[in-house]
Amino acid sequence: MPDILHRTGIKSPSPNEAYKALATIEGLSGWWTDDTQGDSKVGGVITFRFGSQSSFDMKVLELEPGKRVLWQVLDGPAEWIGTKVGFDLEQDGDWTIVLFKHQGWKAPTESMHHCSTKWAVFMLSLKALVETGTGRPYPNDVRIDNWR
Amino acid sequence: MPDILHRTGIKSPSPNEAYKALATIEGLSGWWTDDTQGDSKVGGVITFRFGSQSSFDMKVLELEPGKRVLWQVLDGPAEWIGTKVGFDLEQDGDWTIVLFKHQGWKAPTESMHHCSTKWAVFMLSLKALVETGTGRPYPNDVRIDNWR
């Protein structure tokens, strides 16, 4: 099954700031969508809303401070349901490396192509948030195509 | 085998401009690397140089005006050799949709994660080139991590 993979490096002396941006509602609101709510603890459900365009409900499967965040999609587009979205952090000198994986896609659809590019844009938004204090979450995200 | 997939939409009344940016040396120089040389006809070899950082030699396998460009990697990083890089164009109203696929990776290495994000950045550079006349080819490309 095809996966979406990305690698981003964040200039940061420790992985703590990136972890906070991935493991708290406030952090997630700063780079993915400003309409992020819910319970970010293990077993909790986080709801991500993008106006009337799209929405995702994620169950938090794993949290390892400074190391790893893993979600499973409970609700959203049919193709997304049941897939897993994970972020693994590694510190390399003064860089926090984020290895992103969205796994469990059943087919390499056109929508999957779109999501791959869009995840890259949001990973750079995460990088900007941690490095500068300002990300580009929806509705200020970078438009990539006619689907947005 | 895992593939890198992306979808970008370019505001353009026909796919001709995007095709030119993918099928000519001048076009490629405008969004991937400014050091692009060689023969862009079918069977020709195009050399892409990124200073002392990396280089790729691509054989042009297929050219279908306004529709499709397909290359195979002849030389470059070991993981890249033999892989194929393709761009399929579809016109959807006033958008040219670019479906990108880099296929034939043997394993989902950390380098593949990096290349996936980097290709997204370059697809947005292609979009900028066609829409505004100015792309962000190397050495003016967007840095994504400690590997660049």
In tens, the pLDDT along A89-120 reads 999 999 999 999 999 999 999 999 999 999 99
Cis peptide before A108 (omega within 30 of 0): no
> For residue B140, is it within any domain?
no
3-state secondary structure at position B86: strand
Handedness of CA B100, B102, B108, B113 (dihedral sign): negative
- Would the pTM of this model clear 0.90, i.e. be above it? yes
Residue A143 lies in a domain: no
A148 assigned to some structural domain: no
| Per-residue buried b or exposed e for B86-123, using 16+ beta carbons within 10 Å of the residue's own CB | bbebebeeebbbbbbbbebbeebeebbbbbbbbbbbbb
Number of structural domains (chain B) is: 1
Do residue A116 and residue B6 have CB atoms under 8 angstroms apart? Answer: yes
Nearest chain B Cα distance for residue A26, angstroms: 23
What span, in angstroms and rounded, lies between the C-alpha atoms of A24 and A65?
11
Tell me whether 0.90 is exceeded by the ipTM. yes
* Any A CB within 8 A of B8 CB: yes
Q: Which residue of B has its CA nearest to A99?
A: B113
Interchain pair A116, B5: CB under 8 A: yes
Question: Residue A2: helix, strand or coil by DSSP?
Answer: coil
Give A-chain residues touching B4 at CB under 8 angstroms. 5, 116
Q: By the CB < 8 Å criterion, does B100 face chain A? A: yes
Residue pair B60/B43 in contact (Cβ under 8 Å)? The answer is: yes
pLDDT band at A1 (very low <50, low <70, confident <90, very high): low
Comparing alpha-carbon positions, the chain B residue that sits nearest to A10 is B145
- pLDDT of residue A125 exceeding 90, the answer is yes
Tell me if residue B73 falls in helix, strand or coil. Answer: strand
Q: How far apart are CA B48 and CA B56, in angstroms?
A: 5
**Which residue of B3, B5, B127 to mutate against A (max A Cβ within 10 Å)?**
B5
Looking at this protein, which amino acid is placed at residue A22? Answer: L
pLDDT digits (tens, 9 = 90+) for A46-102: 999 999 889 999 999 999 999 999 999 999 999 999 999 999 999 999 999 999 999
Give a yes or no: residue B143 inside a domain: no
Q: Do B8 and A142 touch (CB under 8 A)?
A: no
Distances (CA, A) of A139 to A32, A53, B69, B111: 9, 11, 34, 31
Is the confidence at residue A27, as pLDDT, over 80?
yes
Q: What is the mean pLDDT of chain B?
A: 97
Residues present in chain B in total: 148
Q: What confidence score (pLDDT) does residue B2 get? A: 84
Instruction: Using alpha carbons, select from B138, B143, B125, B112 the residue that is nearest to residue B54.
Output: B138
Query: Quick check: is B26 in a domain?
Result: yes
Report A:103-122 residues touching B (Cβ under 8 A).
108, 110, 112-114, 116-117, 120-121
Q: Measured between beta carbons, which residues in chain B are less than 8 angstroms from residue A141? A: none
The reply to whether B67 touches chain A by the CB within 8 Å rule is no
Say whether B95 and A6 touch across the interface (CB within 8 A).
Answer: no
Element (H, E) at B137: none
CA distance B117 to B63: 25
Residue in chain B closest to A95 (alpha carbons) equals B146
Q: Which helix (H) or strand (E) holds B115?
A: helix B110-132
Query: Could you tell me which chain B residue has the CA closest to the CA of A91?
Result: B146
The per-residue pLDDT for A2 is 84
Domain assignment present for residue B114? The answer is: yes
Residues of B in contact with A114 (CB under 8 A): 7
Task: Specify if A27 maps to a domain.
Answer: yes
* Domain-embedded: residue A142: no
Domain of residue A70 covers: 4-132
Residues of B in contact with A13 (CB under 8 A): none
CATH number at residue A114: 3.30.530.20
